[in-house]
Amino acid sequence: MNNDSCMAECPQSPILPRERVTSALAEAVAAYPLTALTAPMGYGKTTAARQLADALLSGEKKDAAVARAYFVTLPPEPYSAPYLWNFIWGRLAAQGLEFAESVKAYGFPGDAERRQHVFARCRALAERVLLVLDDYHWVADPAMDAYLTALTREGIAGLHILLLSRSRPNLPLEELRLKSLAESFDQSLLAFSEAETAALFTRYGNKDAETARRAWLFSEGWPAALWLCLRNPESREDFSGAPLARMEAMLEESIFSAYDPEDRRLLLQLSLLDHYTAREADDIGGPGSRERLQQLLHPF
């Protein structure tokens, strides 16, 4: 099996390779069983994972080198844990993981004894592998989260899992981080710096530093917005003609819609105010609103 077949589900992207992103993720892979990368749509999570896999497979990052990288994009529905089990291991079997079919046939391990059977198979991996689970925000069954938490706690040396999600995974990430079992990143890792924006514009034929700077200020480093600015000829001078309707639709789809209905209701209620205290948030949104806001602002 060649490495390309392992990454068949991961699309190519023309976006600029960024060494600092790859290095940060590679350091996490070298040190922890689990890494979570959480960011809204359009921040380049899948692209970053692809570039990481390329670096690890080539041996460029020797401390985190892997022999195989497997990508599984989860289905866009809140399926049960047994369904996701069959889906994930079916995809891994299609990509050539030798024991995937037998683990799939074993069925979802809902108790500790059955989990240990699967963990033993994972410990027997002959080579170090990277498993990327993309679109993890679709996971809604707590049993799947519990299984992944238990797998992480095993600390299997040959297996590293990278979760890509638009919202914070329902995992005890802070506890796992304190136990040196996991690392987590948010969109700040993926947001373009001013220098990276200039390099991106130069790569695609616009070498005017001031134009790139205005695009960076306009987009606040959001890669999808930068790409729309770059590809919109009418916006090259001041970006006043940038495709705002498309950006607003993307913002609604990728950021606002990622929140659950109660969080969306709270955000809409508070959006009318320029500022408010924690007590006022509770008065407007109901008891517990300040805690929900704290979680939204500081998810990790």
pLDDT tens digits, residue range 176-185? Answer: 999 999 999 9
User: C-alpha dihedral over 73, 77, 79, 84, to 10 degrees?
Assistant: -10
Structure tokens at 122: 């994972």
For the chain, what percent of residues have pLDDT higher than 70? 82
The mean per-residue pLDDT over the stretch 101-126 comes to 91
Model confidence at 142: pLDDT above 90: yes
| 190-244 pLDDT tens trace | 999 999 988 888 887 777 788 888 888 888 888 888 877 776 645 444 555 444 5
CA gap 180, 174 in Å, rounded: 10
- Beta-bridged to residue 159, according to DSSP, are 129
For residue 160, the SS3 value is: strand
User: Do residues 221 and 212 make contact, with C-beta atoms less than 8 angstroms apart?
Assistant: no
Task: Indicate left, alpha or beta for 273 from its phi (over 0: left) and psi (-120 to 50: alpha).
Answer: beta
The predicted pLDDT at position 267 comes to 78
**What CA–CA distance (Å, rounded) separates 202 from 190?**
19
pLDDT at 150: 95
Residue 297 pLDDT: 62
- Average pLDDT over the chain, rounded to an integer: 83
Q: Give residue 146's pLDDT.
A: 95
238 DSSP 8-state letter: T
Question: What mean pLDDT do residues 135-154 have?
Answer: 95
| 44 phi-psi bin (left φ>0, alpha ψ -120 to 50, beta other) | left
How far apart (Å, rounded) are the C-alpha atoms in residues 38 and 298? 12
The least confident of 10-19, 132-141, 143-152, 272-281 is 10-19
Residue 9 has pLDDT above 50, yes or no: no
Give the separation between CA 56 and CA 50, rounded to whole angstroms.
10
Global pTM value: 0.75
In this predicted structure, the answer to whether residue 51 has a pLDDT above a threshold of 80 is: yes
- Asked if pLDDT for residue 298 goes beyond 90, the answer is no
Measure the CA–CA gap between 290 and 278, rounded to whole angstroms. 5
Contacts of 143 (CB under 8 A, 6+ apart): 80, 81, 108, 110
